Amino acid sequence: MEAAKPTSAGEAIELDMNDTTTAALMSLATERPRHIAPVPNEVLLQIFSYLQASKPNRRVPGEAIREPNKSIQNIRLVSRQFCTLASHMLIPVIDIDVTPSGLRIIDSISRHPTISCGVEVVRICVNLSSQIHAESMPEFMEYGHAIRDHHPEMAGGWRPADTQNYFIDNLNEDLAYRDWTLRRDEYQSYFHDQMTILTSGQFVRGVAAALAQMPSARSLCLYNTNFYI
């Protein structure tokens, strides 16, 4: 079948212009090299600083930044120069829990040669698991019901990050005993892991070693969010 032809001079001109524009754009995309204007590093740093999140209140729990700054994250992908200049702005605040995973997070960040230099605040949520709840099923179930009764919103999917309350989230009256057992087993494992890194001194030594690798870290904040009951 023969391709449709323009029915008027106006349409012919429009098609020609579209073809010309497309060809020009393709030429620019494939042939013309891209360059970043030569801007002094000091100016770039000032520009990047406007994309940083506002300074967190060191005394207010739950306000720390858990995720890297997305704008800075994207800037680092532009070029090697941008990556080098902006990396120290990526994670100004580290917020961890007293867990093996929290220890791994701060250790990993502290070992990065540039990201570690931008950390200003380290905050540690010191919610500690209860040995009574870990060892006694009736106590664990009572604790879970108490949280649900005092805070019904937890039954709808509210999830605190990396705390023992995760294991009793979303509990219902008719929750099968085996499900309670599964959650209690997870809580028990969480409790033992937490106690191991605390009693062995591993957590304290790990945090101290990480702080030593963060030259800009001037604030260490400990806070507790066990206010649910």
Tell me the pLDDT tens digit for each residue of 178-226: 777 888 888 888 899 999 999 999 999 999 999 999 998 888 988 887 5
CA distance 66 to 36: 31
For 205, half-sphere exposure in the C-beta direction (CA atoms, 13 angstrom radius) is 6
Digit-coded pLDDT (tens) for 20-53 = 555 555 555 555 555 666 766 677 667 767 666 5
* Residues 102 and 162: beta-carbon distance below 8 Å: yes
* Residues 48 and 40: beta-carbon distance below 8 Å: no
Residue 94 token pair: 């580290």
In order of 63, 73, 86, 118, the CA distances from 114 in angstroms are: 24, 13, 9, 7
Q: Please give the biggest Cα pair distance in the chain.
A: 87
Model confidence at 165: pLDDT above 80: no
* Residues 203 and 106: beta-carbon distance below 8 Å: no
Residue 163 token pair: 């705390």
